[in-house]
Amino acid sequence: MSKVLVVVGALALVAGVAIAKPKCPKQCTQEFAATKKSCLTSCKALTDKAAKKACKKSCVADFKASKVACKAAAPTFPACSPSGAFVD
């Protein structure tokens, strides 16, 4: 019986962490993707292979940094239904 309670408790903890994961708004994500796409398009104009590769890496790094900053600034938490336990 105690093993079952431990497993149920662990699953509840994992589910709670997964639900409370910060998420960036869809509009921001779309803007980041559009910026990345235009950046990569500008990289295609380069003729030097090494410069083109560095440009692409820079575009991807900027995209990832933007997403991380957005997630850190706008966390979303699960909506809780009011119950007698949480009423002041």
pLDDT in tens, 57-72: 999 999 999 988 888 8
Tell whether the model's pLDDT for residue 46 goes beyond 80: yes
| Cβ neighbours, 10 Å, residue 32 | 19
Tell whether the model's pLDDT for residue 75 goes beyond 90: no
Question: How crowded is the C-beta side of 10, counted as CA atoms within 13 Å?
Answer: 6
Question: How crowded is the C-beta side of 78, counted as CA atoms within 13 Å?
Answer: 10
pTM for the structure as a whole = 0.58
